[in-house]
Structures are given as C-alpha cells and as structure tokens.
Amino acid sequence: MRILVAGDFHGPQGLELADKMAQARGCDMILQVGDFWAYKQHTKTSTKFICGNHEKWPIIRNRNFHENIELLKDYETYEFGGLTFGCLGRIQKSEAHEHLIWRGWWIGETPEIWLEEDGDRIANLAGSEVLVFHDKPHFELADEDFLCRVVRRVKPALVLHGHMHRYEVTEPIPGTTVVSLPPCDPGGAVIVNEKGETVGPSEETFVLDTEERTLWGPEHGRLEW
C-alpha cells in the first residue's frame, strides 16, 4: 500500500494539492498529521487526519466532514497496508507553548488544543509500528515530555509528526526513526529553518510504502525505517 503522508495543511489548498499528488503517485490514501482545516472539501483520495492545535473545533466535535475524510482518534490504532498505526493528536501543555501564549501568540483555542496526557492509555497503542503525532516528542530536552514516554514504551519503527514546520530526521532511541514533516501549505510562507527563520512556502508531501517500509520525498530522497 502506498500512503501519501502530509504535514500541516492550514487550509483547503493543502488538501487540494495533496489529493493531486496522491493521484499522480498512485497512492491509496492520504495520511495528514494535523492543522487540517479542509473538512468539507471534496477529495478523490481517501483521507485520514489527526487533530492539530489549529482546528475548527465545532466541526471536529460534530464530525461534519466530507464523506471521503475521516478523523483518526487519539489513543487508538488503525491498520493500513498491513501495518499498525497509533495516533495522538493535538499538542502538549508544555512550558514552551504556555510561554508563547503569554507572549501573545495565538496557538489555538484552549483547552481544545491540549493533548490529554493519560499514561494508562499508552497501553492502547502497544504494537504500533508507526506512531502519528501532531506535536514533536522533544528528546533533546533534559526532562523528556509525555510523547517521549509514549515512544519509549511503544517502541515503534517510525514516528511521524508535524507542528514544527520543518523537515528533520532523528533516531532518538535505537530502532526508532522520528520524522518531522514540513507543511503542505502552498498558500503561506511557513517553512522554518534550524535558526527559526521563515524561508518560504512548502508544497512537500511524502510517499510511505507499507511493503517496502520506506518514506520517499522528491526533495529528500528515500528513507528506510
């Protein structure tokens, strides 16, 4: 199975572009990692998404989506192409996020944006070969966050996340590859480089091949995991 994997959309233009790319690359479905904003848009390709921090929450609550669009629930697993995917959307209630709010940044409507950090429910994700987050697991911090604990307990082969607006590949623990996905947002200048600078719009998407266990993007090549 070939899955088109996409980062933050921030609007219907992202889904429109991803749908065209999925059709061109022979993909069976689209998997999007939050900040979706395209709930009622017609799409030829079956589309699954998780919640980000920028969503239209009344639509999310009412599940008022186009018939080809499905929201994947937190702390649940799904099988696509013979692989088990575990999902956790929204963002962590961290000091960094709360500092942004204090500085006047709008990072979404609280409390809807916050991930419910339920240690008991991590067991629901056991057996996941791929974990799908919106927020980043911050292994670089001295005090690891909740998503780091999820990764350490589940031990997936691959973690996909958005939110950071840049492409990055790390292997924080042996056997687990973490991929930060850039936005698929042709309408905005939203790529952020390692210095925190906005350097231009992004139209990137990636193809995940469930049989080959690879992730491919035209600008970044082929990643085996």
Task: For residue range 158-171, list pLDDT tens digits in order.
Answer: 999 999 988 999 99
| Total domains, the chain | 1
* Residue 82 φ/ψ, nearest 5 degrees: 85, 0
CA dihedral over 133, 134, 135, 140, signed as positive or negative: positive
Parent domain of 190: 2-224
Q: Measured between alpha carbons, how far is 129 from 12 in angstroms, rounded to an integer?
A: 30
- Report the greatest alpha carbon distance in the chain: 46
Q: Measured between alpha carbons, how far is 134 from 7 in angstroms, rounded to an integer?
A: 9
C-beta separation of 125 from 152 below 8 A: no
C-beta separation of 19 from 43 below 8 A: yes
Q: Which of 9-23, 92-106, 194-208 has the lowest mean pLDDT?
A: 194-208
Select the more confidently predicted residue: 165 or 191: 165
List the CATH number of the domain containing 189: 3.60.21.10
Burial 85-110 (b: 16+ CB within 10 A, else e): bbbbbbbbbbeebeeeeeeeeeebee
Q: Is the pLDDT of residue 194 over 70?
A: no
Task: For residue range 25-42, list pLDDT tens digits in order.
Answer: 999 999 999 999 999 999
Q: Is the pLDDT of residue 199 over 70?
A: no
Q: What is the mean pLDDT of the chain?
A: 93
Pick the closest to residue 6 from 222, 160, 187, 168 (CA basis). 160
**pTM of the predicted structure, to 2 decimals:** 0.94
Q: Is the pLDDT of residue 174 over 60?
A: yes
Q: For the residues 6-32, what does the mean pLDDT come to?
A: 96
Q: Measured between alpha carbons, how far is 77 from 19 in angstroms, rounded to an integer?
A: 24
Pairing of strands 69-71, 46-49: parallel
Q: Measured between alpha carbons, how far is 151 from 129 in angstroms, rounded to an integer?
A: 11
